[in-house]
Structure 1
Amino acid sequence: MKEIEMDRIKELTRFTRKIKTEFVKGIKPNKLMQKLKRKDINIVVDIRWWSVYPTYFAPKNMRDLLAAHNIEYIRYRELGNPSKLRHKAGENFELAKELYLDYIIKDFKARQIFLDLFKKIRFKKNYCLICYCQTLDPKLCHRFWLKEALVNAKRLTLGFEGSFVLDLKPIPMIQEVQ
């Protein structure tokens, strides 16, 4: 029984490690590529609701840049954080997270795309959720909330109870499992 439990924990840990996050605000293309290469990223998932600025990171330009470095590009605008939700939450980030997670559950298209992304994540590939927001604080940006939702979906499929919540230092928690 313990061996089965450890296998589930290891699978969840591998899944969690396959999902990285990055922002593009204030970053030049060469710097972004360095970051993606350092993280050994195979697939970039662009979850910006509005993705035309800066112009060198507009979807077509981003796709071309990544293709030149053998990185696949997926554009999931529907997993972005809609401006109406951001405006409604204002500076209340707990409410912003609640509204965002509610949106990806209740909006039909967002839910379908979330499930599609969840099914695509495989252990042989490293994924990076890209958005504009420059924060590294998981409490403040939807790219972290989406990662939490993906990890929690995996937890449920593995039969775990409770929820996973990113904090500022998630790595030590994951390393304990190895």
Structure 2
Amino acid sequence: MKHNEALDDLSKEELIRLIGLYSKNWLALDGVWFQSIEQKLGMDEAMLHDARAWERFTVIEARRIKKFLGLPEYAGLGGLKKALSLRFYANINEDEAILRGNTLLYRTLSCRVQNARARKNMEFHPCKPVGEIEYAGFARTIDPRVTCTCVSCYPQITDDTCACSWLFTLHE
């Protein structure tokens, strides 16, 4: 991979800020293309393409993070927790991951996407169907023994203390 020499002169703090900036840029691109389809063809069409994109992207992201961390094929919930902490989202959303026995509860406490849509007086993004594809695919790539269940996600909010909540279960 090409090395960007401009990074050599940046401090650790500047590099961390740059990662945050890159994460915001990535999310902006994701939102811009989604809203373009949403405005032109409607929410259903935008969601169809969003699901297709996330089905592929989540596996790519998980594989790269898994390789970066040097995780084994069966990384378990500990490996999944580490991998979730390095996703782009982890740099821009407030979240928490609670490991208990053979389950990992992952909660997004504050979601940049929904916060932005609220500021713009837009309908909330109906994340649940795409989230089910995204989180299950990510977990399965980290460890094929892990399944994912939605606990709470718009439009089916069952926990108003967070933006969304996902339960990962390790089946040994």
Fold-level similarity (TM above 0.5): no
Higher relative contact order (CA 8 A, sep 6+): 1
Q: Give TM-score, length-normalised by structure 2.
A: 0.35
In terms of fraction of residues, the more strand-rich structure is 2
